Amino acid sequence: MKLLCVSPGYWPAFQYGGPIVSIHSLNKALVKKGVDVTVYTTNAGLNGKVQVNQEIDIEGVKVIYFDFARLFEFVGRTGWQISLTMTKALKENLEKFDVAHIHAIWNYSTGVTAYYCRKFSKPYIITPRGTIYPYTLAKKAWKKLPYFKLIARRDLQGAGAIHYTTEDELEKCHSLLGFRNKAVVVPNGVDLVEFNDLPPGEMLKDRYPELRNKKIILFLGRINWIKGLDILVQSFGMLKREKNDLHLLIVGNDENGYESKVRKWLMEEGVIDNVTFTGLLTGREKLEAYAGSDVFVLPSYSENFGMSVIEAMACGLPVII
- Domain extent for 293: 193-320
* Amino acid letter for position 167: E
Is 0.85 surpassed by the pTM of this model? Answer: yes
pLDDT at 45: 87
pLDDT at 74: 56
- C-alpha 61/C-alpha 292 separation (Å) is 32
Q: How many CA atoms does the CB half-sphere of 193 hold within 13 Å? A: 4
> Quick check: 61 and 10 in contact, CB under 8 A?
no
pLDDT at 193: 87
CA 194 to chain centre: 18
Q: Which domain-ending residue is among 158, 189, 220? A: 189
217/142 same-domain check: no
> Quick check: 131 and 143 in contact, CB under 8 A?
no
pLDDT at 47: 78
184/258 same-domain check: no
Which residues is 39 bridged to in the sheet? Answer: 5, 63
pLDDT at 248: 98
73/163 same-domain check: yes
44/177 same-domain check: yes
88: three-class secondary structure by DSSP: helix
pLDDT at 78: 64
130/248 same-domain check: no
251/294 same-domain check: yes
Q: Which domain-ending residue is among 189, 223, 258? A: 189
pLDDT at 256: 85
88/166 same-domain check: yes
What one-character DSSP code corresponds to residue 192?
Answer: G
183/200 same-domain check: no
Domain count, the chain: 2
157/299 same-domain check: no
216/128 same-domain check: no
Reported as a single tens digit per residue, the pLDDT across 49-66 is 899 999 999 999 999 999
* Amino acid letter for position 122: K
202/240 same-domain check: yes
> What CATH number corresponds to the domain at position 267?
3.40.50.2000
Task: Name residues of the chain where pLDDT drops below 50.
Answer: none
